[in-house]
Amino acid sequence: MRLVLGLEYDGTRFCGWQSQQNGRSVQQTLESAISTVADHPVSVVCAGRTDTGVHALGQVVHFDTDADRPERAWTIGVNSNLPADVSVRWVAQGEEDFHARFSALSRTYRYVIHNATSRSALLANRAWWHHRRLQTDRMQAAARFLIGEHDFSSLRAAECQSRSPIRTMRRVDIDRSGDIVWIEVEANAFLHHMVRNIAGTLVRVGRQDAEPEWVAQVLASRDRKVAGMTAPACGLYFLRVDYGGGLETPISDTAAVPAG
């Protein structure tokens, strides 16, 4: 039987999603909790790996098990074996050919910026503090150059191991509520550090250090050195995954994301 979980976690004290020999990972933590409930070793596959310090509200994972438990028992049982910074939000039975990663049609991330003159103690690990006033209209104008299929070489990490830099960006929305600015991006898939590099690039436009049209030049250059900085991990949230009709994932409660 293939089960699918919706997962939420605070990435502050994790070394990222992927299991590592020296470090506390979300994958190892989750597998240990599920294995306890299933009463056998379990390996999980996620929709998208996250780096150290990155959060998730709508991470999706699948695993196979012969253990027969009600869906509610899986949710309560796994959560009772998880630390406070990880939580299973829902459980569903998936088709045998469902794959958390390869069945996904698109993924959505949100990047959160605390745009105020003074830093916030409560948002220290939840948002990127940026004291210079950001012009969101300029950022939205720049974002239009990212829409569609592009070579995103200039917006991926140097150590990115993806075979192709080609991705299709479906949507980039920028909005503000008070001192909170957020960037929401949806694409078929993302490269390593792609969202954080997009955030750093759009912020450069928002603080008027570059014109919106500069983003088109960044893409055309295919040179990481031309783009903006890599924004801090603390502001990034894995928001949701779209599987079309293959799996109806509940809409995540984004109240935990500082978006006004």
* 51 and 169 co-located in one domain: no
Residue 138: CATH number of its domain = 3.30.70.660
22 within domain boundaries: yes
* 49 and 156 co-located in one domain: no
Find the mean pLDDT for residues 48-75: 94
Last residue of a domain, one of 50, 75, 103: 103
Residues with active-site annotation: 51
249 within domain boundaries: no
The boundaries of the domain holding residue 232 are 106-239
* 193 and 122 co-located in one domain: yes
* 19 and 136 co-located in one domain: no
Q: What is the pLDDT of residues 84-104, one digit of tens each?
A: 999 999 999 999 999 999 999
* 130 and 211 co-located in one domain: yes
* 118 and 195 co-located in one domain: yes
Cβ atoms of 56 and 74 within 8 Å: the answer is no
Residue 145 to residue 138: CA distance in whole angstroms: 12
The strand pairing partners of 128, in sequence order, are: 113
Task: Give the pLDDT band (50/70/90) at residue 123.
Answer: very high
Residue 56: CATH number of its domain = 3.30.70.580
Q: Token pair 């550090």 is at which residue? A: 193
Find the mean pLDDT for residues 173-192: 97
Q: Token pair 């960006």 is at which residue? A: 169
pLDDT of residue 253: 58
57 within domain boundaries: yes
What string of H, E and C letters represents the secondary structure of the chain? CEEEEEEEECHHHCCCCCCCCCCCCHHHHHHHHHHHHHCCCCCCEECCCCCCCCEEEEEEEEEECCCCCCHHHHHHHHHHCCCCCEEEEEEEEECCCCCCCCCCCEEEEEEEEECCCCCCCCCCCCCEECCCCCCHHHHHHHHHHHCEEEECHHHCCCCCCCCCCEEEEEEEEEEEECCEEEEEEEECCCCCCHHHHHHHHHHHHHCCCCCCCHHHHHHHHCCHHHCCCCCCHHHEEEEEEECCCCCCCCCCCHHHCCCC
Last residue of a domain, one of 103, 127, 149: 103
245 within domain boundaries: no
254 within domain boundaries: no
pLDDT of residue 259: 54
Q: Token pair 């928002």 is at which residue? A: 206
pLDDT of residue 254: 56
How many angstroms separate the first and last alpha carbons of the chain? 41
CA-based angle 198:201:207, to the nearest 5? 135
Token pair for 88: 């299973």
Cβ atoms of 50 and 21 within 8 Å: the answer is no
How many domains does the chain fold into? 2
pLDDT of residue 260: 47
pLDDT of residue 210: 96
Using the predicted structure, report yes or no on whether residue 144 has a pLDDT greater than 90. Answer: yes
Least confident of 76-85, 131-140, 221-230, 240-249: 240-249
How much of the chain, in percent, has pLDDT values that exceed 70? 96
* 132 and 234 co-located in one domain: yes
Higher pLDDT, 237 or 247: 237
* 116 and 59 co-located in one domain: no
Cβ atoms of 209 and 125 within 8 Å: the answer is no
Higher pLDDT, 147 or 255: 147
Using the predicted structure, report yes or no on whether residue 252 has a pLDDT greater than 70. Answer: no
pLDDT of residue 131: 95
* 91 and 119 co-located in one domain: no
* 61 and 118 co-located in one domain: no
Using the predicted structure, report yes or no on whether residue 204 has a pLDDT greater than 80. Answer: yes
Find the mean pLDDT for residues 195-211: 97
pTM to 2 decimal places: 0.94
pLDDT of residue 249: 78
Token pair for 48: 């998208």
* 91 and 136 co-located in one domain: no
Using the predicted structure, report yes or no on whether residue 245 has a pLDDT greater than 90. Answer: no
Find the mean pLDDT for residues 54-82: 95
pLDDT of residue 256: 54
